A and B are shown apart, each in its own frame.
Chain A
Amino acid sequence: SQQGEEDPQALSIQEGENATMNCSYKTSINNLQWYRQNSGRGLVHLILIRSNEREKHSGRLRVTLDTSKKSSSLLITASRAADTASYFCATGNRDDKIIFGKGTRLHILP
């Protein structure tokens, strides 16, 4: 069953602008992860935020988690052409698997 829902499904912004993607989920989680996927390529782990954390930074990435609203956001600052990709949130619980949402397709315009 689907867990994460990304919003928006597609996003086009100018290079240099900030990009924000949101993810909502339904059940309780241990952690939430964000992955990037270039077209038809592998999934690259970006950042993991645990359920007891509210915000996490990694380079130009900032992730927030609101467990009361069951939502997370991924902010990419000062976007670059190389950031063009699909971004997925994935929720992890006590089970051995993570469940992916449908992803946001981000397109950075030159």
Chain B
Amino acid sequence: AAGVIQSPRHLIKEKRETATLKCYPIPRHDTVYWYQQGPGQDPQFLISFYEKMQSDKGSIPDRFSAQQFSDYHSELNMSSLELGDSALYFCASSVGRQNYYGYTFGSGTRLTVV
């Protein structure tokens, strides 16, 4: 069965650089969520999209932006990277806005800022 695809799997960037993370949801899933998980931390909600519109916003820094495209894939753009941005970034997808069945998460992108 198709899963949530995230790319790249690993990314190393220097401080003040820019990074773009991509998420391809399960086919026919129209809702995408982004989470950030620092070392030893629980996943923190960043932002979500439903039908290509932002639907909710969490603790996403102003340096980050995201969007969902017409094919429902989503991209998380991170600028002026800081050392503290080093984390696992997860994307999850679901059908619709009601979380009845649980989310399917991608394997994550591990971002290391040096």
Interface extent on A, as a size class? Answer: 20 to 34
Q: Are B43 and A88 in contact (CB under 8 A)?
A: yes
CB-CB under 8 A from A11, the residues of chain B are none
**At the interface, yes or no: A81 with Cβ under 8 Å from chain B?**
no
Q: How far is the CA of A92 from the CA of B105 in the complex (A)?
A: 15
A30-B99 in contact given A42-B90, A88-B43 (Cβ < 8 Å): yes
Q: Are A98 and B103 in contact (CB under 8 A)?
A: yes
CB-CB under 8 A from A98, the residues of chain B are 45, 99, 103
A45-B105 in contact given A88-B43, A96-B33 (Cβ < 8 Å): yes
Q: How far is the CA of A79 from the CA of B92 in the complex (A)?
A: 28
Q: Are A45 and B104 in contact (CB under 8 A)?
A: yes
B1 shortest CB reach to chain A, Å: 13
- Residues from 44 to 62 in B contacting A, C-beta threshold 8 Å: 44-45, 48, 50, 55-56, 58
**At the interface, yes or no: B22 with Cβ under 8 Å from chain A?**
no
B-side residues, CB < 8 A to A, are 31, 33, 35, 41-45, 48, 50, 55-56, 58, 88, 90, 92, 97-108, 110
A-side residues, CB < 8 A to B, are 2, 30-31, 33, 35, 40-45, 47-48, 50, 88, 92, 95-103
A-B contact pairs, 25 of them (CB 8 A): A30-B98, A30-B99, A31-B100, A33-B102, A41-B107, A42-B90, A42-B106, A42-B108, A45-B103, A47-B102, A48-B100, A48-B102, A88-B42, A96-B33, A96-B50, A96-B55, A97-B33, A97-B45, A97-B56, A97-B58, A98-B45, A99-B45, A100-B35, A100-B43, A102-B41
